[in-house]
Structure 1
């Protein structure tokens, strides 16, 4: 498999409900606008490159990958190695125009069409979706500690072999689940969980900045993702399926794995 040039757009937060291979899932877009999923990405590698220039969102990279034979989803690949070549990062000037040129080449606006394409033979599992309206932002309680299965996975694999300290301490457990409720172009509603690393990190930052006050931290997250984004930003959702629910052909196997949020262009009158 030749080296692929990938625009990194997504890094999901590790969740214990995921299988070993999906503890950290990175996704991106190729030059023709098609999606690619890359896993596994070791957390030790991810933390290291984030300190430097690798795997930052909207960075073009070159990576040697191969198609996964154990995953029926066509976008799924795994790295042959982690010798990543950083090319450049796309900036946010002109309302994210450079990013829009690639991220918005193929956009879904209809839920039925998206779900049809997620079925065989296409088995589409990554997509950009433009909601017609975001109607609410929901926060639900989640477990405060990592499940035992997370700890067992850590014991049984070498995923954390390069990390010298306890990975549970490296990755904070956020005791909440975040959801968007939105409508498509037919007014059909959806409620999807947000699994993007950014929203969990925002919560942790707000918690730190507000003396561990969870109520204030949650309110700050909601202000950002609902009050601010829905008024000031043009929202597109990066959607991805979980292999478990996609294989089971659930009614909607998608979750929100990233949010694309350029500022709304102001409309100026000519008169």
Structure 2
């Protein structure tokens, strides 16, 4: 969960809004900025983290073997609470999201010839929101 230390305390005054890129054209305009940042594999992303100090990237897995759901505590531990209590980039008030009582993981292979497979836990807020929404429906 604590993977991007440069994001913990953002200097908001250092952010400059250049222009809004609308999504009305099916992401065509946004793709110009996003596609060059896509890596061929997780191994390449890890290499870029070391060589260029990149902390964010995207790639397409070669194959996804499994999506795993495991029971987990419904409470945030102390370390997680500290991260969640940090100031927000856009809001002054901090609302700590209720913790999902499960862990979600992907088992996959990337396209790198040296890839032996990956087992990565998902810490994505959209996954948590989907859980809460689906839980209400069921």
**TM-score normalised by length of structure 1:** 0.39
How big is the shift at 1:194? 1.9
Q: Provide closer, same or farther for how the CA distance between residues 89 and 185 of structure 1 changes in structure 2, counting only shifts above 3 A.
A: same
From 37, 40, 43, give the equivalent of 1:112.
Answer: 43
Q: 1:203 aligns with which of 107, 131, 138?
A: 131
Q: What is the DSSP-based 3-state SS (H/G/I as helix, E as strand, rest coil) of the residue aligned with 1:105?
A: helix
CA contact (8 A) 2:103 2:121 kept: yes
Any stretches of 5+ residues in structure 2 without a counterpart?
Answer: none
Change (3 A) 1:86 1:101: closer
Residue 89 of structure 1, CA deviation: 4.7
Name which one, 1 or 2, has greater alpha-carbon Rg.
1
Alpha-carbon separation, structure 1, partners of 2:14 and 2:38: 31
Q: How does 1:184-203 map to 2 (within 5 A)?
A: 184-186=110-112, 188=115, 189-203=117-131
What's the RMSD between the two structures over aligned residues? 3.6
For residues 9-46 of structure 1, give each alpha carbon's deviation from its aligned partner in whole angstroms, at most 9, with x where no partner exists: xxxxxxxx649x96xxxxxxxxxxxxxx6443xxxxxx
Q: Does 1:180 align with 2:84?
A: no
Taking the aligned partners of 2:70 and 2:18, their CA distance within structure 1 comes to 38
Q: How many correspondences in the alignment?
A: 132
Provide closer, same or farther for how the CA distance between residues 100 and 85 of structure 1 changes in structure 2, counting only shifts above 3 A.
closer
Q: Quote the residue 2:72 is aligned against.
A: 142
1:62-101 to structure 2, matched below 5 A, reads: 78-80=11-13, 87-91=19-23, 93-94=25-26, 96-101=27-32
Query: Structure 1 unaligned runs (5+)?
Result: 1-16, 23-36, 41-76, 211-271
Name whichever structure is richer in strand by fraction. Answer: 1
Q: Is the 8 A contact 2:66 2:107 kept in 1?
A: yes
After superposition, the Cα gap between the structure-2 partners of 1:122 and 1:104, relative to the gap in structure 1 and judged at 3 Å, is: same
Write the mapping of 1:139-178 to structure 2, written as runs, cut at 5 A: 139-149=69-79, 153=82, 159=87, 162-163=92-93, 167-168=95-96, 171-178=97-104
1:204 Cα deviation from its structure 2 partner = 1.0
Give the structure-2-normalised TM-score. Answer: 0.69
Q: 1:103 to 1:177 in 2, by over 3 A?
A: same
